[in-house]
Amino acid sequence: MMTTTHTALAHVAPASIAAPRSISIFGATGSVGASTLDLVRLDPGAYRVVALTAQTQATELAALAREFSAEVAVIGDPAQHQALAAALAGTKTQVWSGPQGLLDAADLDADWTMAAIVGCAGLAPIMRSLLRGRCVALANKEALVSAGALMIEAAHTSGATLLPVDSEHNAIFQCLAGGRIDEVESITLTASGGPFRQWTLDQMRVAGPEQAVAHPNWSMGAKISVDSATMFNKGLELIEAHHLFPVGLENIRILVHPQSVIHSMVEYRDRSTLAQLGAPDMRIPIASALGWPRRIVTNCAPLDLATIGQLTFEPLDDVRFPGPGICRAAIAAGGGAPAILNAANEIAVSAFLGKRIGFLDIAAIVSQVLARYSPSAPQSLQDVLGIDAEARAEARCIIEAKD
């Protein structure tokens, strides 16, 4: 039987965690991967590291595999296989590579898997872990945006557990403890507003990557930092929430909260609202998933509300930030629209980071691709990957025409 995120805490009694807990980390060299390994470093005897993966950073991956005595290290880019093998010579770590290597790593037995690859590239290994009935801590929101229904169905069929790691969804998960999803009136996703919260459209039009990745509260990878600046991140999170917490799309709201202290809220039908608070440090939601269903000790800073002083809130400006509205329309349309949206956004963000397009072009390109291409609803992982590839090609065409 599946342990869904929204019903899990109603019936799972806090049990002792088998020690050491075997863990795999997909995207180990990234921001979320590093935060996860920081937590493992605090209590190394509590974990046995099965697999660590990265796309191109062979040297960094080898150093982590050595430090944590990983059983397997997987490099996504096959061209880096030799470099990784050389860097791990003399160790017991097996070296695998390429998309098949990632799938094989997902096949390995692990009590807990962190899905922290960025983008739809992480979808196939996550699906494999879910089909194997694993406990998957999900940071990789793009996978859920592109293939949410299929992922939830795979988890139901196999009895897998999905633990939300995105800070907002982890907050909602925590606020649902002891409650029931059918007693929820609404969910509020909080948003910092990103680095351009107070910028005019004219200022945003000429904004470059250095300004877009300078998030005021969170330290994150480049792609999600740009998503936070466009606020597509909040739109992707709206779709993520819709799949994880089925309370009806119209009951999922977005509220700008610049201090990033309240990570999200759940309003119950008796009008009692629960919120989860904490410093803006990803190690806190990751620790919640890593220890689940228990609480583990972290060395994160305690929340000091007296120093913070004020928590403020404001509505989302959907004229300057059309991203969340585009995402809401895409998930309402259903079918292949969310996968198209995600693919177009990934290509547009990468073109923006490469200084090929302007900041405001990102939302325009996503809208154009969504308008041009309307496939039927994906029925399988292959269907989603096909839609993803076609939408990427469309987005690239639009960008090339601009050059």
Residue 54 touches which member of ligand NAD, Mg ion, none, C-beta under 5-8 Å by kind: ligand NAD
The sheet carrying 47-54 orders its strands as 94-97, 72-75, 47-54, 21-26, 112-115, 135-138, 161-164
CA 153, CA 171: separation in Å to the nearest integer? Answer: 23
Query: Between residues 241 and 399, which has the closer beta carbon with respect to Mg ion?
Result: 241
Q: How far apart are CA 385 and CA 125, in angstroms?
A: 13
Residue with tokens 């998930």: 331
d(CA 42, CA 65): 17
Contact stretch for ligand NAD (CB under 6 A) within 26-34, 186-194, 289-297, 360-368 = 26-34
Contact 290, 36 (CB under 8 A): yes
φ/ψ region of 154 (left if φ > 0, alpha if ψ in -120 to 50, else beta) reads alpha
271 burial level (CB within 10 Å; 0-12, 13-18, 19+) = exposed
Site string for ligand NAD, 189-218 (x = CB under 6 A): -----------------------------x
Q: Which does 326 bind (CB under 5 to 8 A by kind): Mg ion, ligand NAD, none?
A: none
Residues 277-316 touching ligand NAD, rule: CB under 6 A, are 282
Other C-beta atoms closer than 10 Å to the C-beta of 89 total 9
Based on the shown chain and the rule CB under 6 A, indicate whether residue 76 belongs to the binding site for ligand NAD: yes
Q: Which of 2, 64, 121, 363 binds ligand NAD (CB under 6 A)?
A: 121
Which residue of this chain has its Cβ atom nearest to ligand NAD in the complex? 30
- Find which of ligand NAD, Mg ion, none residue 142 binds, CB within 5 to 8 Å per kind: ligand NAD
Task: Please work out the total of residues on this chain that contact Mg ion, with binding judged by CB under 5 A.
Answer: 3
In the complex, minimum distance from the CB of residue 65 to ligand NAD, in angstroms, rounded to a whole number: 13
What character string, x for contact with Mg ion (CB under 5 A) and - otherwise, covers 136-175? ------------------------------xxx-------
Angle subtended at Cα 379 by Cα 155 and Cα 153, rounded to the nearest 5 degrees: 15
Report the nearest approach of ligand NAD to the CB of residue 77 (Å). Answer: 8
Q: Which amino acid does the sequence have at 284? A: I
Query: Closest CB to ligand NAD among 223 and 243?
Result: 223
Q: Which stretch binds ligand NAD (CB under 6 A): 170-178, 219-227, 261-269, 384-392?
A: 219-227
E strands present in 260-303: 262-268, 273-277
The contact set with Mg ion (CB under 5 A) reads: 166-168
The contact set with ligand NAD (CB under 6 A) reads: 27-33, 54-55, 57, 76, 116-118, 121, 139-142, 166, 218, 220-221, 223-224, 282
